[in-house]
Structure 1
């Protein structure tokens, strides 16, 4: 659920934001509206792209992934894996810039880097270190994908030389018997 957030007057002169592309800057500002009251949210580029760029069909989930990578490299967000195995992110200086009037406790795991003593959202363990930082190759694209023909053959090991006879063997005598109905 989107929320009303504040943008500080010094936003236009932020050196961190100036070091990322303009689309990444917009993604960052829009992330503020999607984050919970602790600055956390699920890290899924496809879902975030739909929420942040819904009226821009030319902007893809790959674009959003690249922008999230830029924001993480600059230190504006931190990406990590929760105790449930899912990917999360949070705005690193959330509490410096957002003052929430009636905050709701987050249901998402705390960041192991910036909030090591925080409550875990899933297992409710405090400071147990159940969440872990994202690996260096976090969300990197996989190696070259298999061609459709390779993918189909990997799923179905059937070749042209495979015997395609039916599994039920009907003898010629039974098939030729005139008095029996099929079925």
Structure 2
């Protein structure tokens, strides 16, 4: 029977078990958090992003989760710079032109600021610049796609938390904690 682990990846943690960086400094990895042999991440989450990361020992399941051809929706809670308006959300819903081409249409909605754990380090607060929260669901997985999409519509991402992948959700999992899906 295959295993599936739902992990709440903290900010600043690599989505791998060892740091192969040649930069000289050792960055935090999954190793201190998940001591389960034979599981590997199904997809990636950037170093500066937080939230749901799925790990499995089943290669087919890993491919189904990570491969955009299966169009598994991934939902993010995104804090953006500025007071986002309906026109900007409509751009996300239509697809955004990035350097590597048009994105697929996304589901996008303004939301009230979610009750999340504090981020370490905290997001820089500026009195003179407003911020907004949106829920954004995409069905593809380009490199830093959500950040590039929000920047393209004039609202750079301040904080990015992946909340859901398909039917799996982060609900009830603290940062750095995991649970096995049964």
Task: Give the TM interval when normalised to the shorter protein.
Answer: under 0.3
Q: Which has the higher helix share?
A: 1
TM (norm. structure 2) is 0.23
Larger Rg computed on CA atoms: 1
TM (norm. structure 1) is 0.23
Q: Which has the higher strand share?
A: 2
Higher relative contact order (CA 8 A, sep 6+): 2
